[in-house]
Amino acid sequence: MSNNSAPNPSRPRKLRADAEANLDRIIDVAEAVFAEHGLDASIDLVAKRAGVGLGTIYRRFANKDALVAELIDRLLAETIAIAERHLHDTHGDGLTRYLYEVCELLSTKRGALARLWSDAANGPMITRSREVQQQLVANAHRHGAIRADLTGEDVAVALWSIHGILDVTRGSTVNAWRRQLDLLLLGFADNTAIPTHPLTPAAMTAIITNKSDRGNAR
């Protein structure tokens, strides 16, 4: 009970550079903590694990949502970077590589996964993400690598579906997603021999995420 908070007079003052490092550590730790405990994990836990004060986190992020948003932004940026690396693949396999690499990434950074695709909703990063996905699809079409009726939206939704698998397998190292992606890509492939009926037309409109409903409804 006796709270022995002995003031350490000799503690070195944090330098500006440290502040930068702090920010990164906070983000990394938040990723890990949320991945381990879910988004309900407390900010306190993040602060403790990051070795910073609670206030420090709140200095960088207006609130918990903002921290999560940052996680999402960084993740999204990485997926876009992956896409851009494969935008000019010459064998029409850029799309395939994009999907495998992004899923690989998501399987290692599951912290903000639960809100990755719903939160960003219509933000600029999602827009950019859709853009590159469409380009990857266009490229694949050019090489006749995929069904003629496949769209960029199908790619986006494919990632949502993989997210579902990662969600169920949270906490395990199982990568069931890989095999399912194999199967899905088989369905993506151009296949003149098969289709007995045309695909259900894309009906996806703007996802209406009720922001205020999520988070600590508690």
Q: Report the site for DNA in 28-87 (rule: CB under 7 A).
A: 40-44, 51-56, 58-60, 62-65
109 binds, among DNA, a second copy, none (CB under 5 to 8 A by kind): none
Helices (H), ranges, the chain: 16-37, 43-50, 54-60, 64-85, 94-108, 113-119, 124-142, 152-168, 176-188
Q: Which is nearer to a second copy, 81 or 121 (CB)?
A: 121
Quote the least distance from Cβ 9 to DNA, whole Å. Answer: 7
Q: How far is CA 51 from CA 5, 26, 60, 157, 206, in A?
A: 16, 9, 15, 38, 40
201 binds, among a second copy, DNA, none (CB under 5 to 8 A by kind): a second copy
Cβ neighbours of residue 2 under 8 Å, at least 6 residues apart? none
**Of the residues 18, 131, 149, 182, which one makes contact with DNA according to CB under 7 A:** 18
Q: Are 152 and 133 in contact (CB under 8 A)?
A: yes
Q: How far is CA 178 from CA 23, 36, 65, 141, 154, in A?
A: 33, 21, 31, 23, 17
Q: Are 177 and 165 in contact (CB under 8 A)?
A: yes
Quote the least distance from Cβ 78 to a second copy, whole Å. Answer: 16
Question: Contacts with DNA in 169-188 (CB under 7 A)?
Answer: none
148 binds, among DNA, a second copy, none (CB under 5 to 8 A by kind): none
Quote the least distance from Cβ 32 to DNA, whole Å. Answer: 16
Residue 76, beta-bridge partner list? none
Q: Which is nearer to DNA, 53 or 164 (CB)?
A: 53
Quote the least distance from Cβ 104 to a second copy, whole Å. Answer: 12
**Distance of alpha carbon 215 from its chain centroid, rounded?**
17
Residues that bind DNA (CB under 7 A): 1-8, 11-19, 22, 40-44, 51-56, 58-60, 62-65, 216-218
